[in-house]
Amino acid sequence: MRVTVLGGTGKIGRHVVDQLLAAEHQVVALVRNPGKLTIKHPNLTVQVGQLSNPDAVREALTGSDAVISALGPSLKRGAKGTPVTDGTRTVVAAMRQAGVRRFIGLATPSVPDPRDRPSLKGKVLPVLAKAMFPNALAELRGMTAAVTDSDLDWTIARITNPTGKPAAGTLRAGFLGVDTVGSAMSRADIAAFLVAQLGDRTYLRAAPAISN
């Protein structure tokens, strides 16, 4: 399978690229700074470009079977604007033009899924996020809506506390107030969940919360 990866130079994205290549997929990584992606592999194509450039996004998507996005908003308190939301809209439009239907991405439980039920976590997290990272929360809501309001075959994994611990190989997934899902999850395991969605339609057009 040929997969376009967004955010491949980030802490989760690098795991995604590594795991896709280990599974013998063809990978196209759209990056702003190729120097940050030190992986070398014959099945890896590194394309330099910005999400704000529709032509670069379209080129990275052409011929791909799916998109995995490890993009997330800036957590800097002084961050302004909606570059990730705007970029995600550009990606969705390019996917339609290129005929690519599968989108797999990330968000947090601060953005609800219709399958969630009332829970303490569901009430507290958006309040904390709005108080501490208001622009990041706006970005998360915007980038998620850009995907979920589309007709794409999407899956959004909602994560709370990504860690640098080694992969545990364990997974809890489900919906707030319904399933038992924790908070911490290693970045390697988050990446494994994203990659597994290429062949798993359990959470098609759904945004499960996931943890170890």
pTM: 0.96
- CB of 110 within 8 A of CB of 137? yes
pLDDT of residue 157: 98
Residue 49 has pLDDT above 80, yes or no: yes
Domains of the chain in start order, with CATH, are: 2-211 (3.40.50.720)
- DSSP symbol at 110: T
Task: Look up residue 72 and give its amino acid.
Answer: G
Nearest residue to 29 (alpha-carbon basis) of 54, 6, 2: 6
Cα atoms in the 13 Å half-sphere on the side-chain side of 140? 26
Spatial separation of the C-alpha atoms in residues 10 and 37, rounded to whole Å: 9
pLDDT of residue 77: 75
pLDDT of residue 75: 85
Over the stretch 58-117, which tens digit does the pLDDT of each residue have?
999 999 999 999 999 988 877 889 999 999 999 999 999 999 999 999 999 999 999 999
**CB within 8 Å of 155: residues ≥ 6 apart:** 103, 104, 105, 197, 203, 204, 205, 206, 207, 208
Spatial separation of the C-alpha atoms in residues 23 and 97, rounded to whole Å: 28
Residue 141 has pLDDT above 80, yes or no: yes
Mean pLDDT of 110-127: 94
Q: What percent of the chain has pLDDT over 70?
A: 100
- CB of 54 within 8 A of CB of 94? yes
| Average of per-residue pLDDT values in the chain | 96
Bridge-based pairing of strands 26-31 and 2-6 is parallel
Mean pLDDT of 123-131: 91
